[in-house]
Amino acid sequence: MMKRDDCFRVLARHVTDEIVIPVYSSAFDWLELAPRTLNYYSFGAMGLGSSCGLGLALGRPDKRVIVLDGDGSLLMNLGALVTIGAAAPKNLVHFVCRNGSYEANGGHPIPKVDVDFAGLARAAGYPHCHAFSELADFEAKLPQVLEQQGPVFASLDIEKGALSPKIDYRRLDDPKLRQDFRGAL
């Protein structure tokens, strides 16, 4: 088991000009750790982080797109795995933070906590699928994960870190964030 903020600190060291799409609790943590114009915070349209990521990956094949999804979020739109597997964007890396709960919605558990998300992605057609539960292992393999030809999938077994939760939707709602993002692209 890892802490989400520890994972994101490791990830932030490897991110340069990628588009990063964090959802809900991941969005709050990522905003704290790595505020940057190329972040696209996906919330409101629940579950659609991966679909927004697919659109951006197809629209901008010159950029790598990193989705920081949640297990509860993905379950609301599980068919996205198949659509992404079919569209097969080489520039998409799809992380799913697995904490077994709908954390941003009050922390109630997802229907089944031992779902094999990496297995689901593999069956849906993702060419590279990983599952991480140890920080040292994640740290060692992350550069390779980020460079593989996508769509790449990686589940991260996490729990809340010291950072979480700093829930402030007004901050994420700020239209300036989207304007800056659009401007940067």
User: Minimum CB separation from another protein for residue 50, in Å?
Assistant: 13
Q: Which is nearer to another protein, 123 or 167 (CB)?
A: 123
- What distance in Å separates the CA atoms of residue 185 and residue 83, rounded to the nearest whole number? 24
Which spans of this chain sit near another protein (rule: CB under 8 A)?
75-79, 81-83, 85-87, 110-112, 114-120, 122-125
> Using CA atoms, how far apart are residues 68 and 135, in angstroms rounded to an integer?
16
In the complex, what is the shortest distance from the CB of residue 78 to another protein, in angstroms, rounded to a whole number? 4
Between 30 and 49, CB nearer to another protein = 49
- Least distance in angstroms from the C-beta of 26 to another protein: 19
Q: What is the largest CA-CA distance in the chain?
A: 41
**Of the two residues 7 and 120, which places its CB atom closer to another protein in the complex?**
120
DSSP 126-157: -SEEEEE--HHHHHHHHHHHHHS-SSEEEEEE
